[in-house]
Amino acid sequence: MKYPFLDLEKVNRPYMDLLHQAALDVISSGRYIGGGQVEEFEQMLRQMHSVDHAVGVSNGLDALRLILRAYIINGDLKPGDQVIVPANTYIATILAITDASLVPVLADVDLRTMNLSAATIEQVLNPRVKAIMLVHLYGRVAWDEDIRQIISTNGLIAIEDCAQAIGGRSAVEGLHGAHHAGALGHAGALSFYPTKNVGALGDAGAVLTHDARLAKTIRALANYGSDIRYHNIYQGFNCRLDPIQAAFLKVKLPFADRENADRHQRAMAYSHTISHPDIVTPVMSQTLVDNVWHQYVIRITNRDRDYFRRQLLENGVGTDVHYPVPPHMQPCYKIRLSNHIPLPNTERLSAEVVSLPISTGTTVAQAVEISNIINTL
């Protein structure tokens, strides 16, 4: 295929020598769980995000699960409490909520940003809501003055799912004065799944928080519930970050801003070149970093989305769909999540969206070529 959707080997090629060295360092260190690699990576995360606490964990879903379970252990949330979450998200966000015996309250999204807005949050706000899960979907930071106001006024716990938004910043400062996604609310979850903007060579994730007590509970919970060796205060899990992944991530994290800027260039190329009456391109950013373009998502209106994708494929262009079936329509949730308001925008998006190649494996010139192909369809 001339324009593959994502070629991870190509994305990692600039780092190959450093990744080889990082692997050798870990192999010859004899330290395969915890230790300096993990601690140094956590330090880099704290510095980058201006947060006091960062805990490396096994993956993004576990980061979200640990945050919610720790809030319950600490008494800040209790089972049955409601958590507002955008219906247009990857299912992992909602799996974490139900895993913690909390109740997801699905809110629709704004059709333009494809994320939560103050208006869609207010549609579902009620006294039983104790927390909100902000998902910066597709890399677009979902934070503004109005959302911040709703959180403060209602005393909500604000958790960010930053799996798609590492390096993103909001012009409006967060609850603790930080601007980075993951540091805007009370706690944030990062994913380093290989396809994310900063990808490990396997599963990896992290929790960021300003809350010392939460960080302490999460650290113990992720390590069999043990605070000190052979002393278990919680019925915990094994959700640790592997040192070999931490070593790989130490290589790649310093380049997060550069990788995101490269994605921004591709997004600009698409937005400037695509001019097709049946295609809606994503709203462009106010600042360079309020969207880190995890995906470049267009909407196909007035024609069959799958036919459009097939036509692109015939022209050598790989695409993807994020996501074809929203979580509330998945078999595992059809019945349990049936108690929600209508979600017209989420359901419309699931039928219309197409993600174009946006990684650094695609050049800016190729993004222009792909746009020109699109304009002929």
Interface with ligand PLP by CB under 6 A: which residues?
59-61, 89-90, 92-93, 135, 161, 163-164, 191, 193, 203, 205
Report residue 227 as tokens: 């605070």
Q: How far is Cα 112 from Cα 108, in angstroms, rounded to an integer?
A: 12
Q: Which is nearer to ligand PLP, 22 or 92 (CB)?
A: 92
Neighbouring residues of 155: CB distance < 8 A, sequence distance ≥ 6:
none
- Tell me the residue number closest to ligand PLP, measured at CB: 60
Q: In the bound complex, what is the minimum distance in angstroms from residue 93's beta carbon to ligand PLP?
A: 5
Q: In the bound complex, what is the minimum distance in angstroms from residue 142's beta carbon to ligand PLP?
A: 11
Q: In the bound complex, what is the minimum distance in angstroms from residue 192's beta carbon to ligand PLP?
A: 7
Q: Which is nearer to ligand PLP, 45 or 374 (CB)?
A: 45
Report residue 277 as tokens: 């009456």
Q: In the bound complex, what is the minimum distance in angstroms from residue 45's beta carbon to ligand PLP?
A: 15
**Dihedral angle at the C-alpha atoms of 250, 254, 256, 262, nearest 10 degrees?**
-130
Q: In the bound complex, what is the minimum distance in angstroms from residue 22's beta carbon to ligand PLP?
A: 20
Q: How far from chain centre, in Å, is Cα 366?
A: 26
Contact 151, 132 (CB under 8 A): yes
Q: Which is nearer to ligand PLP, 120 or 164 (CB)?
A: 164
Q: Which is nearer to ligand PLP, 95 or 279 (CB)?
A: 95
Alpha-carbon distances, residue 30 vs 24, 26, 43, 228, 244 (angstroms): 11, 7, 22, 22, 11
Q: Which is nearer to ligand PLP, 161 or 369 (CB)?
A: 161
In the three-class reduction of DSSP (H, G, I as helix; E, B as strand; rest coil), residue 123 is classed as coil
Q: In the bound complex, what is the minimum distance in angstroms from residue 182's beta carbon to ligand PLP?
A: 12
Report residue 314 as tokens: 């015939």
Q: How far is Cα 159 from Cα 83, in angstroms, rounded to an integer?
A: 10
Q: In the bound complex, what is the minimum distance in angstroms from residue 196's beta carbon to ligand PLP?
A: 6
Q: Which is nearer to ligand PLP, 353 or 374 (CB)?
A: 353
Q: Which is nearer to ligand PLP, 91 or 373 (CB)?
A: 91
Ramachandran bin of 114, using left for φ above 0, alpha for ψ from -120 to 50, beta for the remaining angles: left
For 25, phi then psi, to 5°, come to -60, -45
Q: In the bound complex, what is the minimum distance in angstroms from residue 194's beta carbon to ligand PLP?
A: 9
Q: In the bound complex, what is the minimum distance in angstroms from residue 193's beta carbon to ligand PLP?
A: 4
Contact 375, 276 (CB under 8 A): yes
In the three-class reduction of DSSP (H, G, I as helix; E, B as strand; rest coil), residue 41 is classed as helix
Q: Which is nearer to ligand PLP, 93 or 362 (CB)?
A: 93
Sign of the CA dihedral running 263, 55, 180, 43: negative
Q: Which is nearer to ligand PLP, 256 or 274 (CB)?
A: 256
Contact 296, 272 (CB under 8 A): no
Q: In the bound complex, what is the minimum distance in angstroms from residue 220's beta carbon to ligand PLP?
A: 21
Q: Which is nearer to ligand PLP, 253 or 274 (CB)?
A: 253
Mind giving me the DSSP string for 272-341?
HH---TTEEPPPPPSSTTSB--S-EEEEE-SS-HHHHHHHHHHTTB--B-S-SS-GGGSTTTTTTT--S-
Q: How far is Cα 80 from Cα 76, in angstroms, rounded to an integer?
A: 12
